[in-house]
Structure 1
Amino acid sequence: MQHIDFKPRRVCSQMIHIDLSDDGKTIEQVTFDGGCSGNLSAISKLVAGRPTAEIAEILKGNTCGPRGTSCADQFSQALLQAMEAIQAGNDPSAAVAN
């Protein structure tokens, strides 16, 4: 399992904790520190066991008010950065550290 801690920007949550399968292709678990707990708990349940690339594409660009981003969008950015690092043979936890 690969663990990533991602510090989101311009959103209410302060940290996103992501566990991916060893090959990075499946989201094992995600938790959010802060933010709208009901919505973020629902996202966590909905994405567990799903393909990383699929979820990143679905959530990419989702916005919250005038922020131009959202916790879901920031999660997708973390996934995209992690996938890029894994494909390049790098440690995804180092690649997404903000």
Structure 2
Amino acid sequence: MYTYQTKGTCSKQIDIELDGNIIKHVKFYGGCDGNLQAIPKLVEGMTIDEVEKRLSGISCNGRPTSCGDQLARACREAYEASK
């Protein structure tokens, strides 16, 4: 399990479990409950590259990042740390 402290979002932390480059489990802490339940269900089973392609660069409410963007960053960081 890899823990990522988010920056610039309502959520404060993301826990990620990988199986190689596949996202196995995601859990957000803080933020909009509905979205943060939906995002893990959508990305679990995807590769890190797929998550980055779909979620990187998404902004939220005028902020330069979002929970999805932070998840893409967190997945890449978790993968690099596992090498």
TM-score (norm 1): 0.78
Fraction of identical pairs, as percent? 41
- Structure 2 residue aligned with 1:4: 2
| Cα deviation, residue 18, structure 1 | 0.5
Alignment partners' CA distance in 1, 2:56 and 2:73? 7
Stretches of structure 1 that go unaligned for 5 or more consecutive residues are 90-98
SS in 2 for 1:30: strand
What is the one-letter code of the residue matched to 1:49? G
Q: How does 1:14-93 map to 2 (within 5 A)?
A: 14-21=12-19, 23=20, 25-86=21-82, 89=83
Alignment partners' CA distance in 1, 2:72 and 2:63? 16
SS in 2 for 1:67: coil
Q: Greater strand percent: which structure? A: 2
Structure 1 or 2, whichever has the larger Rg, is 1
What is the one-letter code of the residue matched to 1:67? R
| Cα deviation, residue 11, structure 1 | 0.5
Stretches of structure 2 that go unaligned for 5 or more consecutive residues are none
SS in 2 for 1:29: strand
